[in-house]
Amino acid sequence: MDQRVWLAFLFLCLLSLSSDVVYEGGRSVSGAFLNLLEAPVIALGVLGVGEFVNYGMRFLSGLLVDRMASSGLQWRLIYAGYAVNLAIPLLALVGRWEMALGLLLLERIGKGLRHAPRDVILAELTKGFG
């Protein structure tokens, strides 16, 4: 296997792993954090809607990747999606529950945005594996 292919594969895997670690760490305390910021109970329900938004963004980014079939576009969507993951560490800087909820929802949008293009690139990279 070409060394560039191996490095791209390893890069995407490590990026995905670190992103999941950040997200799961933030998600595990999101309810208590919103409670600390005195968010109403409905805010937790809205947080659940974030999962729906995530799947909607997966669908839209999948359509976009399928229609465009450009590797450059796929990488840009992946980078944009992972950049939005920085919303989770930014939670440390917010003092209002509305801002915290917005950052948590923004992270879900980013995950949906990067999911389909990442899977397409990983499938292309691993064509000869199995």
The predicted-structure confidence for 46-72, as pLDDT tens digits, reads as follows: 988 988 999 999 999 999 888 887 778
CA quadruple 21, 25, 31, 35: dihedral sign? negative
> Rounded CA gap, 78 and 8, in Å?
13
pLDDT of residue 71: 79
Give the predicted TM-score (pTM) of the model. 0.85
Residue 12 token pair: 């995407």
The predicted-structure confidence for 76-126, as pLDDT tens digits, reads as follows: 999 999 999 889 999 999 999 999 999 999 999 999 999 999 998 888 888
> Rounded CA gap, 95 and 73, in Å?
36
> Rounded CA gap, 78 and 26, in Å?
20
pLDDT of residue 1: 61
Domain boundaries, the chain: 3-125
Residue 61 token pair: 């980014």
> Rounded CA gap, 37 and 56, in Å?
28
pLDDT of residue 23: 86
> Rounded CA gap, 83 and 51, in Å?
18
